[in-house]
Amino acid sequence: MKDRIFYITTPIYYVNASPHIGHAYTTIVADVLARYHRLRGDKTFFLTGTDEHGDKIAEAAKKGGVTPKEYADGISAQFRSLWPELAVTNDRFIRTTDADHVATVRGILQKVYDSGDIYFGEYEGFYCVGCERFYMEKELLDGKCPQHETVPEHRKESNYFFRMGKYQEWLINHIETHPDFIRPERYKNEALAFLREPLEDLCISRPKSRLTWGIDLPFDENYVTYVWFDALINYLTGVGYPEGENFGTFWPVAQHLIAKDILKPHGIYWPTMLKAAGIEPYQHLNVHGYWNVDQSKMSKSLGNVVKPLDLKDKYGLDPFRYFLLRDMVFGLDSSFSEEAFVQRINSDLANDLGNLVSRTMQMAIKYGDGRVPTPDAAAFAEQALPEAAARALAEVESCFTTLALHKALIAIWEFINVTNKTIVEKEPWVLAKDPANKERLATILYHLLEALRVTAVLITPFMPGSAAKILAQLGIADPAGQTFETLRAWGGLPAGSALTKGETLFPRVEVKKEEDKPAAAAVAAKAEVPAIKPEIAYEDFQKIDLRVAKVLAAERVPKSSKLLKLSVEIDGERTVVAGMGKDYTPEEMVGKQIVVVANLKPAKLMGVESRGMLLATDTEEGLTLLGFDKPPKTGANIH
């Protein structure tokens, strides 16, 4: 039953600054995972919250002229109220100032103290308040904290220490024998690299003479608990450790989600703390990369902090969630740019998905009686859509186990493209002209509507609002019943339910002319655009005769997987050989108007003479032909 239970946590965020896009990303990823598991029918618990003790918060409160608790209340409330606005469905919002958490921390400290793994000693080192931890001299870069680029304070004081070093060998062995304990692999390797050096004991207290804002040590009231020792334990408090029923259910499958900045506390301190307290380690630590902004680190001083609510208000919640998940490869850094965001809205959402929904609904309503038609199995012999749906489902499920969420979205968009292609191929508007085609038309429309249902269910974890809107248009008022189980067999959409055409799901975002340039530059930068060739004179360009050509016939060049032999009309008929065979079938090419370099010297390709060259470009999904917004005349000049 282990796999039918799911427990996911985010870091608990420091309350010294307002939420930004990085916090939103982690929390939305956790939400997508939680929603996915609920859709599979798994018993799910999702925990997020705020980290409120320590020097950092005490300092920020002092600057603001309020008490640490007042300060923490204010910012914690900002996080708490942000999550519902981003459709985040956490089961608990924990604060380290919550009474049950304080009790849990004290209980664990006492337990570890009693077992002899906490001792009193002297410490001297370099303390970074930003990181809330000591650094060894050799870890500093030019004497500065490598994360914050600030000079750490030199501190010497008597404190309590946790015998972390004692668990070094155990931890190395645990990581090596549980290859998915820390993932992706690069972060597992990073953790093992830390462990190649001798692991020092961890200072887990602060004298009250210097800091009072923390949880009192149960065995010495002159000290408060070090903020990381306090914070990590939230993952236990959240599910009711030690007695709560949820603890027994969820802890064995606990998964943490963090960014790479806090790998060391989670990958090293935390498992050793659990081991010392006699608690099983968590199951997975999932580590993602950093969102940068326009290639540089986000920071208050650079003034480039991206606020999640601003983006949601400007572009809508679902586009924001989609963009974050689609544009970051889990584990790697990604650079946020508003231009790339707009590009995604217009191409993936408005064009591919939005148009598909509106076209299909429009046709289904126009050519039917306003209800989901009854399909006739015999009239729809081919299996392209059901097969594509099964492929998408399998891929999405596999991506969820490895957290490759961007790949899950790519798989869903492949299915959307197959559906769009089906409309082009089946031409329902042509069938509608002849009443003899009634059953075939009804069947095709049914399958297109079922494809919309499948798409809606697949996007539910990512874009729950849009998914519900699509389902409502299909006459499914309650999206709760639309689980992943309903996707196992094709044809779950009930015939007869009432169709309603909704508003445009994803309005296009108009890009102002002067903004065109940065948009193109941003996209270009992402795709690693080849260098521009040396300049040529206008007269040289004029030598190239580009023409509109119409493809009259097409076939594969024997023994070539790539080459298509096209008969095209320009100023008469001629043969053009094109390397499009992996991305287009010969049937797809026929009837298309394309762009051809008409005066290129003839060349032989695999024995076939080509008189001209067709123009195309690369996309993430392969080659695409250059096309036209309005139908041009065959043979026309392109200038």
Point out the residues that are catalytic: 20, 23, 128, 131, 145, 148, 297, 300
Confirm or reject binding of residue 468 to ligand ME8 (CB under 6 A).
no
Distance in angstroms (rounded) separating the CA atoms of residues 421 and 443: 16
Chosen residue from 6, 7, 8, 11 binding ligand ME8 by CB under 6 A: 11
Distance in angstroms (rounded) separating the CA atoms of residues 298 and 155: 29
Segment near ligand ME8 (CB under 6 A), from 8-16, 143-151, 427-435, 482-490?
8-16
Interaction residues for ligand ME8, span 215-244 (CB under 6 A): 231-232, 234
Confirm or reject binding of residue 94 to ligand ME8 (CB under 6 A).
no
Confirm or reject binding of residue 258 to ligand ME8 (CB under 6 A).
yes
Chain centre to alpha carbon of residue 102: 34
Confirm or reject binding of residue 331 to ligand ME8 (CB under 6 A).
no
Interaction residues for ligand ME8, span 262-291 (CB under 6 A): 262, 290-291
Site map (CB under 6 A) of ligand ME8, residues 19-48, x = contact: ---xx-xx----------------------
Nearer to ligand ME8 by Cβ, of 49 and 240: the residue is 49
Least distance from C-beta 295 to ligand ME8, angstroms? Answer: 13
- C-alpha dist (Å) from residue 419 to 408, 445, 453: 17, 11, 12
Site map (CB under 6 A) of ligand ME8, residues 368-387, x = contact: --------------------
Identify the residue whose tokens are 């009686």. 369
Least distance from C-beta 461 to ligand ME8, angstroms? Answer: 19
Distance in angstroms (rounded) separating the CA atoms of residues 223 and 251: 30
Least distance from C-beta 54 to ligand ME8, angstroms? Answer: 9
Identify the residue whose tokens are 């930068």. 525
Least distance from C-beta 22 to ligand ME8, angstroms? Answer: 2
Beta bridge partners of 605: 608
Are 201 and 163 in contact, with CB atoms under 8 Å apart? yes
Nearer to ligand ME8 by Cβ, of 15 and 549: the residue is 15
Confirm or reject binding of residue 13 to ligand ME8 (CB under 6 A).
yes
- C-alpha dist (Å) from residue 105 to 286, 378, 590: 24, 66, 71
Distance in angstroms (rounded) separating the CA atoms of residues 259 and 291: 10
Confirm or reject binding of residue 306 to ligand ME8 (CB under 6 A).
no
Least distance from C-beta 597 to ligand ME8, angstroms? Answer: 46
Segment near ligand ME8 (CB under 6 A), from 5-13, 155-163, 190-198, 414-422?
5-13
Are 330 and 403 in contact, with CB atoms under 8 Å apart? yes
Confirm or reject binding of residue 453 to ligand ME8 (CB under 6 A).
no
Identify the residue whose tokens are 């679902």. 318
Are 568 and 615 in contact, with CB atoms under 8 Å apart? no
- Full 3-state SS string of 41-93: CCEEEEEEEEECCCHHHHHHHHHHCCCHHHHHHHHHHHHHHHHHHCCCCCCEE
Nearer to ligand ME8 by Cβ, of 12 and 72: the residue is 12
Cα R_g (the chain), whole angstroms:
30
SS3 content of the chain, % helix, strand, coil (to 5): 45, 20, 35
Chosen residue from 298, 449, 467, 596 binding ligand ME8 by CB under 6 A: 298
Are 252 and 2 in contact, with CB atoms under 8 Å apart? yes
Least distance from C-beta 18 to ligand ME8, angstroms? Answer: 10
- C-alpha dist (Å) from residue 403 to 27, 287, 397, 411: 14, 10, 10, 14
Chosen residue from 7, 14, 160, 187 binding ligand ME8 by CB under 6 A: 14
Chosen residue from 51, 216, 348, 450 binding ligand ME8 by CB under 6 A: 51
Are 515 and 523 in contact, with CB atoms under 8 Å apart? no
Q: Which residues bind ligand ME8 (CB under 6 A)?
A: 11-14, 22-23, 25-26, 51, 231-232, 234, 258-259, 261-262, 290-291, 298
